[in-house]
Amino acid sequence: VTSRLVPVPTLPQDRRKDLPLEMGQDLLRAPAGHREHLPPRLSVIVPTRNEAANLTELRDCLEAALAGIEHEVIVVDDSSDAVTRPLLAGIAAGSPRWRVLERPPDEQTGLATAVAAGLRLAQGTAVCVMDGDLQHPPEVVPSLLKAVESGADLAIASRYAAGGEAGGLANRYRQLVSHASRWVALAIFPEARRTTDPLTGFFCVRRPAIAGLELRPVGFKVLLELLVLCPGLKTVDVPFTFGRRNEGESKAGARQGLLFLTHLLSLFLHVPESSQSLKFGAVTAGSLVVFAALFEVMARTGWNLVAAWAVASLAGSLVNAVFQRGVTFRRHWRRRLVYRAFGSIGSLAGLGAYSGLLWVTPRHPLAMGALAQAIALAIPLTLNVLGVRHWLRLMTAGASTGLHELGRHLEVDTVWWSEPVPKPLDPERLALAPAGLEELIRHCAASGLPDLVIQAPSDRPQPRRNIESLSAIIVPKPEAGKVAVLVRRSVKPFTAADLQHAVRVIHGSGEADPAPLQLTVAKS
C-alpha cells in the first residue's frame, strides 16, 4: 500500500498580480501550462488524526484568515475512523487549494513524520505548520507569514512569549508536563533557547532555508528538530493564545512522553555538535570519575602515590580524548599527532604539578590528585582553544620538502603526482575528488597554471556546521612532467593562501625526483 494523494489540484488562478513586473511579463509570453508551476506564497500543513469534527470549521476559518493570500493547504492524514477520510475527500473536491495525503496504516508513524511528509510535498515559499483541532487559531497564520516575509527564516507562534497564553491546555497535569518538557529541552539544547516555545507545533518557515534537510523526528516535536539541526536559522516569536481543543480528543499521552525523551536522546547523540558544551562537560566529568576511581583503588592498595596518579591520569585522559572525539566533536580529526602531543604536555605538566602539590600539602593526596588531573586536562584544552595548532602549522610550513610532507601540512585526505593526462581515478580517489577533477588536471597541465577548486555543498542557508566540502589544489610541475594533486574533504576547504603555499613549496623546493612520493591516503 502506498500513500494516496487526493485529489491533485490544478490551481486555475492567474497569479500575475503576485509577481514582480518583469516576471509577470514573462508569464504572459510563457505557454499557459507554466502558470500552474509557480510556487504559492504559502503552504499550510495540517497533520490530522480522526479530526472529522473540526475540519469543516478549520477550512472555513483558514479561508477567511488567508483571503487574498495565494496558498495551498496540505493535510497529512492518519485517521483510523470511518468518517474523517470521506470528509477530507469532500473538502478537497470542493476547495482546489486543499490536498490530502492519506497515509496507509503501516506509514502512520506519528505526528512529526506526518509534518515531515507534508514539508516534502509543500510548494510554497513559506510553509506554516498547524494543528487541525483549532487550538492553533488560523487568524495568527498571516502574522507568521508576515514575519517570514520580512526576513525571518522561522516564525514561531509562542504560548510563552509576552502576550501569549497556554490557557488551552486541557488540565493542570498537561500544563505541568508542558512546562517540564519545555524546561528540559531548553536545559539540554542551547539551540532551542532562540525561542520561548521550542515545543509548539505552530510555526512558519521559509522553505528554501530548510531545503534538503533530512528530518528524523519521533513523536510530536518537529520544531525542536528544526531548531537543533539548523542553529543558524533566524527565528522570531509571535505570541498567541493557545485555544481549547474545539472537538474530539487529544492524541497526546504517556506514549508521546516516552517518544519525546527518545527524540531528545537522538538529537543529542546523532546531531553532530548539538548541545556541545553539555557534551563537553559530561565527557570531562565522566573521565574525571574514571580517574578518581582508579586513583582511589590504587592508592588504597599501597601503590606509590605518584605512580598511581600517573596510571590513573593516563587512563582518565585517554577516556576523555576518545569520547571528546567520538561524541563532542564528531568530525574528521586531522593532525592527530599534534593533539597527542598536546595531551602529553598536559599529562607531564599534571605529573609535575602533582609531585609539587604532594610535597606542599601531603595531607590531601586524593584531592590534590584530582586537582592535578584537572590541570592535565585543562592544558590541551587551552592549547586547542588558543589555536596553537594553526600557529604551529604556519611556523613549520617552511620546513616542508616533499609532496607527502606538504600534504600533511595542508591536512589533505589524499595527495599524488598525476600524469599530465591522468589515468581514470581509482574508486577511492574518485570518491574524494571534486567533480571534473580529471579534466581540470589536464587543463592545468596544458596551461602550466596552478588551480584551486572548491566544491561547495550548495548555497542553501542550512547552517549545519558539519557539512563538508571537497576541495583540490592542482599544481603542474612542467620540468618534471607531472602535476601535483592535493584533495581535502573537510568543513574547511582549501584557501587561496593554501594554494600559494603549495605553489611555493612545489616550485621552490627543487625536489629532484618526485617518483617515490606515490599515493598517500591519509584518512583520519
Ligand X SMILES: Nc1nc2c(ncn2[C@@H]2O[C@H](COP(=O)(O)OP(=O)(O)O)[C@@H](O)[C@H]2O)c(=O)[nH]1
Nearest residue to the partner ligand X, using Cβ: 250
Among 3, 175, 250, 401, binds ligand X (CB under 6 A): 250
Residue at grid coordinates 492519506: 102
**Given the rule CB under 6 A, which of 109-117, 312-320, 365-373, 456-464 is the region that contacts ligand X?**
109-117
CB of 467 to ligand X, least distance (A): 30
* Smaller CB separation from ligand X, 132 or 217: 132
With CB under 5 to 8 Å by kind, the binding choice for 132 among Mg ion, ligand X, none is: ligand X
Q: Can residue 458 be called a binding residue for ligand X (CB under 6 A)? A: no
For residues 501 and 484, is the Cβ–Cβ distance under 8 A?
no
CB of 174 to Mg ion, least distance (A): 10
CB of 294 to ligand X, least distance (A): 48
CA distance 524 to 522: 6
* Smaller CB separation from ligand X, 56 or 396: 56
What cell numbers appear for 294 in the block? Answer: 582508579
What cell numbers appear for 210 in the block? Answer: 530548510
**41-47-50 Cα angle (round to 5):** 140
Q: Can residue 132 be called a binding residue for ligand X (CB under 6 A)? A: yes
Helix (H, G, I), strand (E, B) or coil at 298: helix
* Smaller CB separation from ligand X, 170 or 285: 170
For residues 87 and 52, is the Cβ–Cβ distance under 8 A?
yes
* Smaller CB separation from ligand X, 3 or 500: 3
CB of 168 to ligand X, least distance (A): 8
Q: Can residue 400 be called a binding residue for Mg ion (CB under 5 A)? A: no
Strand partners, 6: 100
Helix (H, G, I), strand (E, B) or coil at 307: helix
DSSP single-letter state for residue 481:
T
* Smaller CB separation from ligand X, 47 or 450: 47
For the chain, the helix, strand and coil percentages under 3-state DSSP, each to the nearest 5: 50, 15, 35
The 190-229 contact track toward ligand X, x by CB under 6 A, reads ----------------------------------------
* Smaller CB separation from Mg ion, 134 or 267: 134
* Smaller CB separation from ligand X, 111 or 437: 111
- Residue 490 makes CB contacts below 8 A (sequence gap 6+) with 332, 334, 411, 413, 468, 469, 471
Among 252, 282, 370, 388, binds ligand X (CB under 6 A): 252
**Given the rule CB under 5 A, which of 240-248, 264-272, 405-413, 459-467 is the region that contacts Mg ion?**
240-248
Q: Can residue 282 be called a binding residue for ligand X (CB under 6 A)? A: no
State which H helix or E strand residue 473 sits in. strand 469-477
- Residue 336 makes CB contacts below 8 A (sequence gap 6+) with 524
* Smaller CB separation from ligand X, 251 or 335: 251
CB of 126 to ligand X, least distance (A): 20
Q: Can residue 135 be called a binding residue for ligand X (CB under 6 A)? A: yes
Q: How many residues bind ligand X (CB under 6 A)?
A: 19
Centroid of chain to Cα 190: 14
The 318-347 contact track toward ligand X, x by CB under 6 A, reads ------------------------------
* Cβ neighbours, 10 Å, residue 459: 7
Strand partners, 48: 77
CA distance 38 to 123: 9
Closest CA to 475 of 505, 454, 516: 505
For 43-61, the DSSP string reads EEEEEESS-HHHHHHHHHH
CA distance 330 to 273: 7
**Given the rule CB under 6 A, which of 107-115, 145-153, 356-364, 455-463 is the region that contacts ligand X?**
107-115
CA distance 350 to 370: 10
Closest CA to 260 of 180, 165, 354: 180
* Smaller CB separation from ligand X, 170 or 435: 170
* Smaller CB separation from Mg ion, 51 or 191: 51
Closest CA to 71 of 138, 24, 168, 25: 138
Q: Can residue 251 be called a binding residue for ligand X (CB under 6 A)? A: yes
CA distance 288 to 367: 12
Q: Can residue 133 be called a binding residue for ligand X (CB under 6 A)? A: yes
Give the footprint of ligand X on residues 6-65 (CB under 6 A).
Answer: 47-49, 51
With CB under 5 to 8 Å by kind, the binding choice for 219 among Mg ion, ligand X, none is: none
DSSP single-letter state for residue 101:
E
With CB under 5 to 8 Å by kind, the binding choice for 224 among Mg ion, ligand X, none is: none
The 107-146 contact track toward Mg ion, x by CB under 5 A, reads --------------------------x-x-----------
User: Which is it for strands 42-48 and 126-129: parallel, antiparallel or unpaired?
Assistant: parallel
Question: Which spans of this chain sit near Mg ion (rule: CB under 5 A)?
Answer: 133, 135, 245
* Interaction site with ligand X (CB under 6 A): 47-49, 51, 76-78, 108, 110-111, 114, 131-133, 135, 245, 250-252
